[in-house]
Structure 1
């Protein structure tokens, strides 16, 4: 990428982040709480899936 194109992309990214922040701040507390609960649930599921062995996987560890 050329310098001008890179600068334009960075400026657009910054602008998108500002708009997201403004949108997030304008939402109600209930909506923010619901989003946090959903994100925590997703993290819990991903952690659980990460610990669960995949069906058919060969485990060579002997602990």
Structure 2
């Protein structure tokens, strides 16, 4: 466990670690945006897929 902590400390103490942290932050922000979009548009997305499955005749 100590080796993992030392590795992470080493990453964040170097420039490469700062870049890694920035990429991780961007990834988290994108994930939050995707979750928010799916939450807000979930009903509309479901309606589109239901219409597609009905048109294809594979709905149950």
* Aligned-pair Cα RMSD in Å: 2.1
**TM-score, reference length from structure 1:** 0.50
Deviation at 1:22, TM superposition (A): 1.5
Q: Which has the higher helix share?
A: 2
**TM-score, reference length from structure 2:** 0.52
Residues paired across the two proteins, number: 42
Runs of 4+ with >4 A deviation: none
Structure 1 counterpart of 2:19: 34
From 40, 45, 54, the counterpart of 1:56: 45
Structure 2 counterpart of 1:19: 3
Gap regions ≥5 residues in structure 1: 1-16, 59-63
